[in-house]
Amino acid sequence: MLRTGNNRIGLVARRTFSTSTRHHEGLRIGYVPEHFSTPLHFAKKHFRLDASLVPFPAGTGHMVQALKASELDVGIGLTEGWVAALGKHGKQAGFKLVGTYVETPLCWAISTGAKRDIASIEQLRGKKAGVSRIGSGSYVMAYVLAQQHGWLDSSAENPFEFVPLENFKNLRAGVNSGQADFFMWEHFTSKRYYDNGEIKMIGEIYTPWSSWKIVARDPTDKRLEIMAQRLNEGIAYYNDSKDEAVEYISTELDYSRKDAQEWTKTVQFPKDVRGVDPGEIDKTIGILGKAGVLDASLSQSGDMIGIKRATRAHPS
């Protein structure tokens, strides 16, 4: 078992990995190259995080595929995307939840084309929803939106026609061309394109759970403990270095300085990323079950979690 404190590893993990050269190599960590990745960048830049950072601009759904294909060891992505994949694929998903990367909810902006005659959420029922991939966070949250508005209760039909468009750029183009009627993406990532008139916002929705989790193909991999320490250091540095964070976000990523500054006021990272709260995953399963994303009766948090937060990094 993994245990916290001075990089202590239980006897099982030591026996399993003492002869494995794979575990002496750097981790392959998938991440979304947005503002939330700033502490990860600091962990690599300032605290010698031994990892290859692999960007996935298409988001969590693409990382799910890469993890299943053994192309990644770790993924940092959206809670709803991970839980939906685990609920659908079970053990065949090829990963488990091992950490909490962001404590605060995510604000999903709901966008359409700048010149489209869609002005409110009420007009979206039955429309074409642009998503990055089937099973992605943008796909899952569309069902949560439908559930909140009662569009799943009166008909067995899908509330939307889903149009996979792979990435944020294609989604913006899709709502302007008519290929899709609307899409959902993180608020501050979308805001620049409201400001320049490319798309318009018709609403927003917050996740009812903390927004980002860490998953790993092998929860007993002893490199996860060192990774967690480096991420914790990166987060502490971020908290103490907001000016450097804003500079990085506004020069290396697709955000204005003002938006980067405003975003830092809305997000809270944990002091310790290790472990996941089973109660929060139970809540997520329940909501996603009501939204029709997974079968809540067949989905258990204990099957999804590899490292429980309540016991501070003990594999379940």
State the residue for tokens 């109660």. 279
Residues 6+ apart with CB under 8 A from 39: 231, 234, 235, 237, 238, 269
pLDDT at 256: 94
Count the residues in the chain: 316
Look over the chain and give the mean of its residue pLDDT values, rounded to a whole number. Answer: 89
pLDDT more than 90, % of the chain: 79
pLDDT at 156: 59
CA-CA distance, 308 to 186, in Å (whole number)?
27
Alpha-carbon Rg of the chain, whole angstroms?
Answer: 19
Residues 6+ apart with CB under 8 A from 62: 56, 132, 133, 136
CA-CA distance, 171 to 313, in Å (whole number)?
38
Neighbours of 264 (CB within 10 A): 17
Question: 77-117: per-residue pLDDT in tens?
Answer: 999 999 999 999 988 999 999 999 999 999 999 999 999 99
Phi and psi dihedrals of 58, rounded to 5?
-75, -15
Question: 13-63: per-residue pLDDT in tens?
Answer: 332 333 333 445 799 999 999 999 999 999 999 999 999 999 999 889 999
**pTM for this predicted structure:** 0.84
Q: Which of 85, 7, 74 is nearest to 40 (CA)?
A: 74
pLDDT (mean) for 218-226 = 96
CA-CA distance, 166 to 142, in Å (whole number)?
16
Question: 257-284: per-residue pLDDT in tens?
Answer: 999 999 999 999 999 999 999 999 999 9
Domains and CATH numbers, the chain: 27-105+210-303 (3.40.190.10), 107-206 (3.40.190.10)
pLDDT at 217: 97
